[in-house]
């Protein structure tokens, strides 16, 4: 059988006839099994499919593709070890002319387990990140609540107020982390729900800067241009998501940068005969150390963190997902002060 068509498939394939002998081996399967595709034709399936499990049993002996129930049509995906010790995920289809008839052909599919290993690492990273981020606020909540319960009559009102304020702050931190995890899940699965409508970019930027400035001593500057934002087009955006994006970027500048954090808004591009702006360009910059050019490709991936000031490593991943979901772009650069510069382009409301 000509295996050229099988070579086009991303997974390795081994085909065997009803006599248990191999008819074709794709190039991917030959590479994984370390066999010569031409020499393998005509050999018993068990000799070509040299896969073993953790106990040393081989695939054909465990799964017996040619015997068993006459209604069986396949072997579910299983993890097996290659001769070199690498892991592959193996599944098989058993072809019968009719129910109860002998198996006429066996098609075995092999694919590298690297994708699953990467997924397992992501899950492990997620568990470790969540455990780390939850531990600190939960410890604070547990400690202060225990103190309040055990020493309520001995504590002064100011002490009670301070403890309850701290508990409320830690509870807000937990709520934000849960919201981030939900956003990540929705972005990954394509189930992010948006409610876009005409949005005033300048008004949202003013609220975000005022909110973040109330909780930090760092100087924050909002630059809306000479016309104080009057020339900015209305955006096609979910206001809550735009607020979330800007808040995340400004807070990142405060937490990880140095010196002044500047938020700058300008009309972006033009189109049509009247030269109407295509959207708004947001720039959030600081005067810290910035982000090295070779690291910028990783910044918008999950769990990326820099420095020693903590964080879940999910914020910029969510920013990237929300901006792209609105049809915008986000890039990293260096500010005039040498710090980080995050630039967003957000599309304007489409006029009828």
Write out pLDDT tens, residues 163-205.
898 888 888 878 877 887 888 888 877 788 888 899 999 999 9
Crossing angle of helices 157-189/114-151, nearest 10°?
160
Helix (H) or strand (E) segment spanning residue 207: helix 201-213
The CATH number of 116-189 is 1.10.287.130
The CATH number of 6-112 is 3.30.450.20
pLDDT recorded at residue 276: 63
- For the chain, domain boundaries: 6-112, 116-189, 197-347
Distance CA 327, CA 329 (A): 7
Tokens describing residue 292: 């090295």
Under the banding of pLDDT at 50, 70 and 90, the label for residue 274 is low
pLDDT at 105 over 70: yes
pLDDT at 292 over 80: no
The owner of tokens 């030959």 is: 30
DSSP label of 186: H
**Count of positions (residues) in the chain:** 352
User: 87 versus 21: which is more confidently predicted?
Assistant: 21
In terms of Cα–Cα distance, which of 289, 283, 288, 287 is closest to 222?
283
Q: Where are the beta strands (DSSP E) in 196-260?
A: 197-199, 220-223, 235-237
pLDDT recorded at residue 204: 93
Q: Where are the beta strands (DSSP E) in the chain?
A: 12-17, 22-25, 74-81, 87-95, 105-112, 197-199, 220-223, 235-237, 261-271, 276-285, 329-334, 340-347
pLDDT at 1 over 50: no
Paired residues of 347 in beta bridges: 279
Distance CA 315, CA 301 (A): 10
Q: What is the pLDDT of residues 133-157, one digit of tens each?
A: 677 788 888 888 998 999 898 888 8
Using an 8 Å Cβ cutoff, are 279 and 348 in contact?
Answer: yes
Distance CA 197, CA 268 (A): 19
The CATH number of 197-347 is 3.30.565.10
C-alpha distances out from residue 345 to 206, 221, 267, 328, 337, Å: 18, 19, 9, 5, 22
Under the banding of pLDDT at 50, 70 and 90, the label for residue 122 is low
């Amino acid at each position: 059988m000509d295996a050229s068509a099988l070579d086009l498939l991303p997974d390795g394939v081994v085909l065997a006839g009803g006599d248990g002998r191999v008819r074709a081996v794709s190039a991917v399967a030959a590479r994984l099994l370390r066999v010569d595709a031409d020499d393998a034709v005509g050999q018993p399936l068990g000799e070509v499919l040299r896969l073993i499990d953790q106990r040393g049993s081989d695939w054909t002996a465990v799964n017996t593709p040619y015997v068993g129930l006459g209604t069986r049509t396949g072997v579910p995906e299983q993890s097996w070890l290659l001769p070199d010790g690498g892991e592959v995920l193996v599944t098989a289809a058993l072809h019968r002319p009719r129910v109860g008839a002998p198996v006429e052909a066996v098609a075995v599919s092999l694919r590298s387990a690297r994708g699953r290993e990467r997924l397992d690492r992501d899950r492990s990273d997620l568990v470790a990140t969540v455990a780390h981020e939850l531990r600190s606020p939960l410890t604070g909540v547990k400690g202060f609540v225990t103190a309040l319960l055990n020493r309520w009559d001995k504590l002064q009102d100011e002490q009670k107020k301070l403890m309850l304020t701290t508990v409320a702050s830690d509870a807000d931190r937990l709520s934000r982390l849960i919201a981030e995890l939900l956003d990540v899940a929705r972005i990954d699965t394509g189930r992010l729900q948006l409610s876009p409508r005409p949005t005033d970019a300048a008004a949202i930027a003013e609220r975000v800067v005022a909110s973040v400035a109330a909780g930090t001593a760092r100087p924050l500057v909002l630059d809306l241009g000479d016309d104080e934002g009057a020339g900015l087009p209305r955006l096609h955006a979910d206001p809550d998501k735009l607020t979330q994006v800007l808040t995340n970027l400004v807070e990142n500048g405060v937490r990880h940068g140095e010196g002044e954090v500047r938020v700058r808004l300008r009309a972006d591009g033009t189109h049509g005969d009247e030269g109407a702006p295509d959207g708004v360009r947001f720039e959030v910059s600081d005067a810290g150390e910035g982000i090295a050019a070779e690291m910028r490709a990783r910044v918008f991936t999950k769990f990326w963190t820099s420095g020693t000031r903590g964080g879940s490593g999910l914020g910029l991943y969510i920013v990237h997902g929300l901006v792209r979901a609105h049809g915008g772009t986000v890039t990293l650069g260096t500010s005039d002060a040498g710090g980080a510069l995050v630039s967003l382009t957000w599309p304007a409301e489409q006029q009828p």
